[in-house]
A = this chain, B = another copy of it.
Amino acid sequence: MIEVTNENFEQLLPSIEETIRMASFVAIDMELSGLNASPALKPTLFDSIEERYRKQRETVNRFVCCQFGLTCFKRDPFVNKYTAKSFGFYLCPRSLGESRSKRFAFDASAVEFLSDYGLDFSKVLNAGIPYLNEEEEYSLKQDLANDCLIELSKQTTAEFEYISSKITKWIASFENDKKQEWSESFYVDYVPSVNDFSNYLLIKELRRNFKNIWIKTTDDKGTHQVVASRVSKEEYTRIALEAFKDEEFAIKRSVGFSQVVRCLIETRKPIVGFNMMLDILYLYNDFYRKLPRKLNTFKKEFVELFPETYDSKAIFNNSKKYYPEMTDLFNARSLEELYQILRSKEFLSRFLYQPVIESESTKGKEPETLPHDAGFDSYASGYVFIRLAHMLAMKDKGITKEAPTWTDHLRAVNEFKNQINLIRATVHFLDLEKDDRNSIRPQWLVVENRDKSEPLSISKVRLEANF
């Protein structure tokens, strides 16, 4: 798995986009900073789809995606083989000047959960990749175009004052000493912020402050410097065009990870996940546009962006009917369990023409099982998707002479396209393309202890079922 932080994102982006373009489908997974904004917003067995959407919209508004896993699967056209390339992106919202700063929440139990499964939070908060959705990007561009006041952060203000005083002294010495050449430049060491946009604002503010001095930054082997160069008025006007490019680049860096999601939208690749209701809400809200109030609006717009979404969990739940005898398989309770069963010799040998699934990121070796690492989980979701699709493709075939193609696999799961699994609700999945069935609350709910020797406590039932 390739780990991507803000330090290598810019450099890797072109090859990531290329990998997406070449993919047959893209599997995703997210690790979130929390799930339930408050106990009242916990999913219950009696949630209608609209209620669930309303609750999860609150989750999306409060918590953030800390780690975004993306695995591109490519079917080899000549061999019965899928190649997988996995990326784990660490994300963190960054401010756009002191007053445009997002607040986001962590749930202590989510922090422990992710810590226990090995997430390093310095990669998230110290080195995360920023992102903006379209609305945020638009509003930033408007503010920049209208030259609205964007205040420097406290630490950038300190850098600004330090560098300004150095440059001012340099100019004074220069004016006193007529012998120096006009072209001479002056270098000041500086410590860039983890927020690239703050670094841009610093340069912009320095340029505003010193007329006829051109300000740039250089980065030579990790030594960051501000370069001030004395230029003529004519030259200044010419060079000043650079400022537009710098601004465009600063905006691009702030849009950050959303560029990857935009590439998914542009290429209209099938998206695969596992139990991905929250994932698709985050995909829309954080990287495209604020979630609409109405579920139906969301569904319509989401399908326009991502015409083919497959939730491996929904496929799994609904394939049971075709293979009722495979009790071991259908007892799997988590992505990890399912993944382990589907890669067992026992399962693989049940169906002919099992495609090879090769992890390119680990040079062909099986990737290390790292449950709840978004990169690994996206790989496992895609792996599960292929194995289930193959199982379904083989269901009517019996003994054939040729291995199913990618088209065959896709056709086999077509009935599950755009069906998103729902946990604990009145219906089992959300269909992005059809009107949802009326959700009918059961008239009676029969509750009994698994251990029938113990008496049933109504308070325990209430706590467990959360109603």
- A92: chain B residues within 8 A (beta carbon): 108, 111
Contact of A108 among B101, B105, B107, B151 (CB under 8 A): B101
A 41-52 to B, binary, CB cutoff 8 A, 1 in contact else 0: 000000000000
Are A153 and B101 closer than 8 Å at their CB atoms? Answer: no
Taken together as a complex, chains A and B put the C-alpha atoms of A93 and B98 apart, in Å, by 27
Could you tell me if B149 and A116 are in contact, using CB atoms closer than 8 angstroms?
Answer: no
How many copies of the shown chain assemble into the complex? 2
Number of A residues with CB within 8 Å of any CB on chain B: 46
**Cβ of A106 < 8 Å from any Cβ of B?**
yes
**Chain A contact residues, majority secondary structure:** mixed
The complex places the Cα of A39 from the Cα of B108 at a distance, in Å, of 25
Expressed in whole angstroms, the Cα–Cα distance for A124 and B121 within the complex equals: 8
A372's nearest neighbour on chain B, judged by CB, is B155
Of chain B, the residue at the smallest CB distance from A33 is B106
Is A154 located at the chain interface by the 8 A CB criterion? yes
Residue in chain B with minimal CB distance to A122: B122
Q: Which residue of B lies closest to A38 (CB)?
A: B103
A445 within 8 A of B: no
A96-149 CB contacts (< 8 Å) to partner B: 98-99, 101-109, 111-113, 115-117, 119-122, 124-126, 149
- For the complex, is A94 an interface residue (Cβ under 8 Å from B)? yes
Closest to A198 in B: B112
Q: Is the CB of A116 within 8 A of B194?
A: yes
Q: Is the CB of A463 within 8 A of B120?
A: no
Cβ-defined contact, A93 with B113, below 8 A: no
In the assembled complex, the Cα of A23 lies from the Cα of B53 at a distance in Å of 56
Pairwise interchain contact A108-B116, C-beta atoms closer than 8 A: no
A144 to B125, CA, bound (A): 35
- Cβ of B95 and Cβ of A101 under 8 Å apart? no
The one of B109, B121, B198 that contacts A153, using a Cβ cutoff of 8 Å: B109
The verdict on A34 contacting chain B, using a C-beta distance below 8 Å, is yes
Across the interface, do A125 and B111 meet the contact criterion of CB distance under 8 Å? yes
Which residues of chain B are near A120, meaning CB under 8 Å?
122, 126
Q: Does A70 contact B (CB under 8 A)?
A: no
A104 and B103 in contact, given A116-B194, A121-B124 (Cβ under 8 angstroms): no
Tell me the complex Cα distance, A153–B116, Å: 11
Asked if A95 and B122 make an inter-chain contact with CB atoms under 8 angstroms apart, the answer reads no
| A151 vs B149: C-alpha distance when bound (angstroms) | 50
In the complex, are the beta carbons of B113 and A153 less than 8 A apart? yes
What residue of chain B has the Cβ atom nearest to residue A127's Cβ?
B115
Write out the residue numbers on chain B whose beta carbons fall within 8 Å of the beta carbon of A103: 34, 37-38, 62, 105-108
Q: Kindly identify which residue among B62, B98, B121, B460 contacts A125, using a CB–CB cutoff of 8 Å.
A: B121
Given contacts A95-B112, A116-B155, A155-B116, whether A105 and B104 have CB atoms under 8 Å apart is yes
For A98, the closest partner residue in chain B by CB is: B109
Are A126 and B121 in contact, CB atoms less than 8 angstroms apart?
yes
* A191 proximal to B (CB < 8 A): yes
| Residue interface bits A448-467, CB-to-B below 8 A is 1, else 0 | 00000000000110010000
**Contact (Cβ within 8 A) A112 B195:** yes
Residues A460 and B149 in contact in the complex (CB < 8 Å), given A98-B109, A108-B101:
yes
Whether A193 is near chain B, meaning CB under 8 Å from some CB there, is yes
Give the interface of A toward B (CB within 8 A): 34, 37-39, 62, 92-95, 98-99, 101-109, 111-113, 115-117, 119-122, 124-126, 149, 151, 153-155, 191, 193-195, 198, 459-460, 463
